[in-house]
């Protein structure tokens, strides 16, 4: 029951030109040449995104893809490939999705809004699961590309579709609406996200309403659409409100009861109730939206209450963390369907740190496919991704185990059976994907394989890291390379995890401070060229063994390296020459360049790969004249060196702030450091293009009442003005939360409220004044040290330092967890 169209059919549907060499059945739409699993059945859309999709045609062809939708034929001849030629590749993808959607007359719910779309979609999925076969966007695939790929999954086995649509600028919704074609609409929370893409907030809302043009029914917050009567004239509206009795669902009472939230409302002139298993503001609003939707769709209040009470948290993100016996764990234990399995397998195959890869998978529910077809497809995916070991959990997988032909397979009836056997599976030095349907409770497996956590974690959002990288790439002149600075554990953010992401997304170079850091990256499977900024002569042996490239900054260093090369019969070894143009830290001085040239000219042991220098104040206007002087000295020096060696070298001088402020000094490469991690003094804090990647969070270990005359912490330094409450949290100076933050200097976010420290910071703990937190604070509550809202820059300002120091101070005992959507 998988969808297939012949290439010829597709050609007609998207109205393409070009000849068909061999007509083939197409079942997979492909937009990323790195994600090929079933090449012969794939149709590759060469989308011109930031990187021109047409450059990837060759990669896809090499991987076996033979059908392409393109703007123009590639110059290289691929005689056995089909090229469908269209004016706009994205429009063609969308036209195909629209056509496909209209082959089915299942009920479809369309969701839009600024926040909560994905949660509402996933919760409705949980709520309607018992009687429906549901197709929905995988994760938050809700964009111009995500929606067509989502809609493509509809097949004859589904009887309900739930799709979210996200837009960032005007003109986009009409296209999404055509593809989704919903009969029931839901408008979730409206906030300020993406306001900049529209003339006004009203224009944004109008654009969003386009999704509901052909809907029969619309569910929304009564207050939000008061001024949009015309747009809604033909739609049956179901509204909810926390203020107005005029709404269909009027929520008139809200009470927090321990970790739940009790709602009472008037519906059809009767009082009804609902218990939400969450307490935070956003979850409550999303739950009300779901409640209204269930009622609007004809479910009884009792049924709605019963199901909402059992809603579970939604995590759309994969979590990558360290596990037992040096394993890496990819935790995706919240849902399982074939699309998100594919996404997770792609992430697994990006990991290079271990040779061995293992998948633990549960039965998949609600695919809309016959079991036989489903598990055949799953087995094929697993095989294509070259997984060594497969562990299946559930009776359905067990029934279909014959399809899984891998070096090692195990099948268990349920999660408990696997847990009982877990010692016998000898997990060691491998990357393990844990992916299961909700009901299998795979978080138990994840807990069994994860290392014990001290409950302070540094979360790194790899998607944000990637979008920061692209933010800077967009500022580069054509052809300029990127060296990503991953010294000092990637500014505290990790080692191979960050480097892996950068390698997969094609930066050109990496740089570390010391040889050992470079070795750790090589052992984590990083094959990119790596520069060592501070090579120790004693480690030349290791440096060359691991193919690391030294920065050469002095005659002594050059002399020693050349001697080493000579003795070990190494020739043409790549080196990077550092010129000191004003930092007065490392590098050849201007007057030394001539002698340096004499030495390099006749030298066959090394080859100058690059010549570079470092700006001392690229972000500071006050020193712009000095920066210009540095640039002048640099230009003279590299010209001399290039002339002496007789070949051209890579030239680079810009760090993060230099990229933004000195576009003329990009030369052949830039060295991107702290900007990758979301901090750049030269970019305004409200520029949405750059976001902090790291969140440091901890938890409350105890809550206490203290009186005005009590003292708090070592040396009796802290006290409260009046009687009040304090919370002890699990972070101290040994974690990198410096003593300087004590006694009210530092602040943390507790339940969304910024509260000051009180008393001295201890080694492993510190205390917060939580007297003013409304609703109180409980033991185990989450506490944010820094994130997008309370930024690293603010912490740095509190203790008169720079963000670099805050980040790199976070100690290695703080567990790093990586998220990927």
Ligand X SMILES: *Cc1c(COP(=O)(O)O)cnc(C)c1O
**Is 51 known to sit in a ligand binding site?**
no
Closer by beta carbon to ligand X, 329 or else 510: 510
Residue 103: helix, strand or coil by DSSP? coil
Contact mark string toward ligand X, 673..712, x via CB under 6 A: xxx-------------------------------------
Record the tokens describing residue 138, joined without a space. Answer: 């995988």
For the chain, what's the residue count? Answer: 821
Residue 487 appears among annotated catalytic residues: yes
Q: Which of the ranges 3-11, 331-339, 634-642, 670-678 carries the binding residues for ligand X, by CB under 6 A?
A: 670-678
Q: Spell out the alpha helix ranges (H) of 450-554.
A: 462-473, 487-492, 496-504, 515-523, 540-545
Tell me: does residue 160 bind ligand X (CB under 6 A).
Answer: no
Q: Which of the ranges 6-14, 121-129, 626-634, 665-673 carries the binding residues for ligand X, by CB under 6 A?
A: 665-673
Q: Which of the ranges 136-144, 227-235, 667-675, 717-725 carries the binding residues for ligand X, by CB under 6 A?
A: 667-675
Q: Which of the ranges 202-210, 229-237, 668-676, 684-692 carries the binding residues for ligand X, by CB under 6 A?
A: 668-676
Report CA-CA distances (Å) from 592 to 378, 430, 596, 649.
63, 50, 6, 19
Contact mark string toward ligand X, 524..553, x via CB under 6 A: ---------x--------------------
Provide the minimum distance between the beta carbon of 513 and ligand X in the complex, in angstroms, as a whole number: 7
Record the tokens describing residue 669, joined without a space. Answer: 């490469």
**Residues 6+ positions from 319 with CB-CB distance below 8 Å:** 329, 330, 331, 332, 817, 818, 819
Q: Any bridge partners for residue 659, and if so which?
A: none
If you search the block for the tokens 């099948």, which residue do you land on?
Answer: 411
Closer by beta carbon to ligand X, 84 or else 674: 674
Contact mark string toward ligand X, 359..378, x via CB under 6 A: --------------------
Alpha-carbon span 24 to 156, nearest angstrom: 21
Closer by beta carbon to ligand X, 166 or else 675: 675
Record the tokens describing residue 424, joined without a space. Answer: 């016998």
Closer by beta carbon to ligand X, 675 or else 746: 675
**Is 661 known to sit in a ligand binding site?**
no
Catalytic residue among 487, 578, 651, 697: 487
Tell me: does residue 671 bind ligand X (CB under 6 A).
Answer: yes
Closer by beta carbon to ligand X, 487 or else 651: 487
Helices 496-504 and 462-473: crossing angle in degrees, nearest 10, is: 50
Provide the minimum distance between the beta carbon of 572 and ligand X in the complex, in angstroms, as a whole number: 24
Provide the minimum distance between the beta carbon of 198 and ligand X in the complex, in angstroms, as a whole number: 33
* Burial of 592 from C-beta contacts in 10 A (0-12 / 13-18 / 19+): middle
Record the tokens describing residue 321, joined without a space. Answer: 């963390």
Provide the minimum distance between the beta carbon of 652 and ligand X in the complex, in angstroms, as a whole number: 8
Provide the minimum distance between the beta carbon of 479 and ligand X in the complex, in angstroms, as a whole number: 20
Catalytic residue among 383, 714, 804, 815: 714
If you search the block for the tokens 């790549």, which residue do you land on?
Answer: 574
Closest CA relative to residue 206, chosen from 241, 173, 247 = 173
Q: Which of the ranges 19-27, 59-67, 498-506, 666-674 carries the binding residues for ligand X, by CB under 6 A?
A: 666-674
Q: Are 67 and 84 in contact (CB under 8 A)?
A: yes
Closest CA relative to residue 497, chosen from 325, 354, 334 = 354
Cα of 589 vs its chain's centroid, Å: 43
Closer by beta carbon to ligand X, 305 or else 680: 680
Q: Which of the ranges 274-282, 492-500, 627-635, 672-680 carries the binding residues for ligand X, by CB under 6 A?
A: 672-680
Record the tokens describing residue 68, joined without a space. Answer: 């392409």
Closer by beta carbon to ligand X, 265 or else 672: 672
Under rule CB under 6 A, which residues in 484-513 are in contact with ligand X?
485, 487
Residue nearest to ligand X (CB): 673
Residue 232: helix, strand or coil by DSSP? coil
Provide the minimum distance between the beta carbon of 680 and ligand X in the complex, in angstroms, as a whole number: 8
Closer by beta carbon to ligand X, 438 or else 614: 614
Residue 239: helix, strand or coil by DSSP? strand
Q: Helix count (H) and strand count (E) of the chain?
A: 25, 37
Q: Which helix (H) or strand (E) segment is 84 a member of?
A: strand 82-85
Under rule CB under 6 A, which residues in 580-619 are in contact with ligand X?
614
Alpha-carbon span 456 to 748, nearest angstrom: 13
Q: Which of the ranges 540-548, 559-567, 669-677, 689-697 carries the binding residues for ligand X, by CB under 6 A?
A: 669-677
Record the tokens describing residue 441, joined without a space. Answer: 């409770």
**Number of residues located near ligand X, criterion CB under 6 A:** 11
Alpha-carbon span 184 to 299, nearest angstrom: 15
Closer by beta carbon to ligand X, 543 or else 674: 674
Provide the minimum distance between the beta carbon of 670 and ligand X in the complex, in angstroms, as a whole number: 9
Closer by beta carbon to ligand X, 292 or else 615: 615
Provide the minimum distance between the beta carbon of 659 and ligand X in the complex, in angstroms, as a whole number: 8
Residue 634: left if φ>0, alpha if ψ -120 to 50, beta else—which one? alpha
Interacting residue with ligand X among 153, 362, 656, 751 (CB under 6 A):
656
Provide the minimum distance between the beta carbon of 472 and ligand X in the complex, in angstroms, as a whole number: 10
Alpha-carbon span 24 to 9, nearest angstrom: 10
Secondary structure E strands in 150-277:
160-164, 184-187, 217-221, 236-241, 249-257, 260-267, 270-276
Q: Which helix (H) or strand (E) segment is 700 a member of?
A: strand 694-706
Tell me: does residue 186 bind ligand X (CB under 6 A).
Answer: no
Terminal-to-terminal C-alpha distance of the chain: 28
Q: Any bridge partners for residue 704, and if so which?
A: 726
Interacting residue with ligand X among 655, 751, 757, 762 (CB under 6 A):
655
Record the tokens describing residue 268, joined without a space. Answer: 């059809």
Provide the minimum distance between the beta carbon of 644 and ligand X in the complex, in angstroms, as a whole number: 23
Alpha-carbon span 676 to 657, nearest angstrom: 11
Task: Give the residue ranges of the annotated binding site for substrate.
Answer: 585, 763
What is the contact surface with ligand X in residues (CB under 6 A)? 485, 487, 533, 614, 655-656, 671-675
Provide the annotated binding site: 585, 763
- Give catalytic residues, as residue numbers: 487, 714
């Amino acid at each position: 029951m998988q969808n297939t169209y012949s290439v010829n059919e597709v050609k007609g549907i998207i109205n393409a030109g070009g000849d068909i060499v061999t007509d083939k059945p197409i079942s997979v739409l492909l937009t990323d040449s790195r994600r090929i699993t079933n090449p012969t059945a794939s149709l590759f859309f060469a989308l011109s995104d930031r990187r021109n999709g047409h450059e990837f045609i060759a990669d896809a062809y090499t991987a076996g893809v033979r059908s392409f939708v393109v703007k123009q034929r590639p110059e290289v001849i691929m005689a056995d490939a089909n090229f469908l030629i269209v004016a706009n590749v994205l429009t063609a993808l969308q036209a195909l999705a629209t056509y496909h959607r209209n082959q089915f007359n299942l009920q479809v719910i369309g969701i839009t809004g600024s926040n909560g779309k994905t949660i509402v979609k996933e919760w409705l999925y949980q709520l309607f699961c018992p009687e429906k076969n549901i197709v929905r966007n995988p994760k938050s695939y809700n964009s111009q590309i995500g929606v067509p790929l989502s809609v493509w999954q509809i097949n004859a086995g589904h009887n309900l579709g739930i799709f979210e649509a996200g837009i960032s600028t005007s003109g986009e919704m009409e296209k999404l609406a055509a593809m989704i074609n919903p009969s029931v609409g839901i408008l979730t929370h409206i906030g300020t996200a993406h306001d900049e893409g529209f003339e006004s907030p009203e224009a944004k809302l109008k654009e969003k309403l386009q999704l509901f043009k052909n809907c029969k029914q619309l569910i929304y917050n009564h207050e939000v659409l008061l001024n949009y009567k015309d747009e809604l004239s033909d739609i049956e509206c179901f509204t909810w409100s926390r203020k107005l009795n005029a709404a269909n669902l009027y929520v008139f009472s809200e009470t927090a009861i321990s970790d739940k939230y009790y709602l009472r409302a008037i519906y059809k002139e009767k009082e009804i109730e609902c218990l939400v298993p969450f307490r935070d503001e956003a979850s409550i609003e999303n739950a009300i939206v779901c409640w209204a939707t269930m009622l609007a769709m004809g479910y009884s209040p009792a049924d709605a209450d019963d199901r909402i009470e059992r809603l579970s948290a939604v995590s759309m993100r994969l979590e990558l963390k360290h596990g037992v016996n040096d394993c890496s764990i990819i935790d995706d234990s919240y849902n399982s369907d074939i699309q998100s399995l594919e996404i997770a397998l792609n992430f697994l195959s990006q990991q290079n740190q271990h040779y061995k890869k293992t998948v633990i998978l549960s039965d998949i529910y609600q695919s809309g496919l016959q079991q036989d077809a489903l598990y055949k497809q799953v087995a094929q995916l697993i095989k294509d991704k070259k997984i060594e070991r497969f562990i299946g959990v559930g009776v359905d997988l067990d029934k279909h185990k014959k399809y899984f032909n891998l070096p090692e397979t195990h099948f268990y009836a349920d999660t408990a059976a696997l847990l009982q056997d877990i010692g016998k599976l000898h997990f060691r030095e491998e990357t393990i994907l844990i992916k299961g349907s909700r009901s299998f409770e795979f978080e138990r497996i994840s807990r069994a394989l994860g290392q014990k956590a001290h409950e302070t974690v540094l979360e790194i959002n790899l998607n944000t890291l990637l979008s920061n990288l692209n933010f800077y790439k967009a500022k580069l002149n054509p052809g300029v390379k990127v060296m990503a600075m991953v010294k000092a554990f990637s500014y505290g953010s990790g080692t191979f995890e960050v480097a892996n992401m950068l390698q997969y997304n094609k930066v050109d170079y990496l740089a570390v401070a010391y040889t050992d850091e470079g070795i750790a990256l090589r052992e984590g499977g990083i094959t990119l060229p790596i520069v060592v900024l501070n090579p120790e002569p004693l480690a030349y042996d290791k440096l060359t063994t691991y193919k690391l490239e030294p920065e050469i900054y002095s005659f002594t260093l050059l002399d020693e390296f050349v001697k080493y090369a000579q003795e070990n019969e190494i020739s043409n070894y790549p080196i990077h020459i550092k010129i000191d143009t004003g930092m007065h830290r490392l590098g050849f001085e201007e007057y030394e360049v001539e002698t340096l040239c004499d030495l390099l000219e006749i030298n066959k042991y090394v080859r100058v790969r690059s010549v570079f220098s470092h700006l001392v104040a690229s972000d500071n206007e006050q020193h712009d004249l000095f920066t210009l002087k540095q640039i002048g000295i640099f230009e003279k020096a590299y010209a001399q060196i290039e002339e002496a060696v007789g070949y051209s070298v890579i030239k680079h001088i810009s760090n993060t702030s230099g990229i933004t402020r000195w576009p003329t000094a990009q030369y052949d490469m830039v060295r991107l450091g702290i900007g990758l991690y979301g901090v750049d003094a030269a970019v305004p804090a409200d520029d949405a293009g750059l976001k902090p990647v790291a969140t440091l969070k901890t938890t409350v270990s105890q809550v206490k009442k203290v009186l005005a005359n009590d003292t708090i912490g070592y040396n009796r330094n802290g006290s409260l003005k009046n009687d009040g409450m304090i919370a002890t949290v699990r972070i101290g100076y040994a974690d990198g939360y410096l003593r300087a933050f004590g006694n009210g200097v530092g602040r943390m976010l507790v339940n969304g409220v910024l509260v000051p420290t009180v008393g001295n910071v201890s080694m492993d703990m510190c205390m917060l004044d939580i007297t003013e937190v409304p609703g109180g604070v409980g033991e185990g509550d989450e506490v944010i040290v820094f994130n997008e809202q309370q930024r690293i820059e603010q912490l740095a300002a509190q203790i008169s330092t720079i963000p670099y120091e805050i980040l790199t101070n976070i100690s290695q005992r703080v567990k790093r967890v990586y998220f990927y959507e």
